[in-house]
């Protein structure tokens, strides 16, 4: 059991709601718990590395479709 009762376990947080709306709400609840300083850092990293990750995922998707 967790000693910190203010922070629910992630598994319980994600398990109580299923589907795309539930996932979005759970992600929002997690995002609200991140301090603003670290949120800013996450957004900067997403802007820098996000396009690279999307390009890589797009290539992998195209490659997997060709193999079918």
Give the pLDDT score at 43: 95
24: tokens are 């979005």
Nearest alpha carbon to residue 11 among 20, 66, 57, 2: 2
Looking at the whole model, is its pTM more than 0.75?
Answer: no
- What pLDDT, in 10s, does the model give residues 14-55? 555 568 888 899 899 999 999 999 999 999 999 999 999 999
Local structure of 26: helix, strand or coil: helix
Query: Would you say 33 and 7 are in contact if contact means Cβ atoms under 8 Å apart?
Result: yes
pLDDT bin (cut points 50, 70, 90) of residue 12 is low
């Amino acid at each position: 059991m967790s000693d910190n009762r203010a922070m629910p376990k992630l598994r319980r947080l994600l398990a109580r709601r299923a589907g795309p709306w539930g996932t979005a709400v759970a992600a929002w609840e997690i995002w609200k718990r991140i301090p603003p300083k670290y949120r800013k850092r996450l957004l900067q990293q997403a802007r820098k590395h996000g396009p690279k990750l999307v390009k890589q995922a797009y290539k992998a998707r195209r490659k997997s479709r060709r193999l079918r």
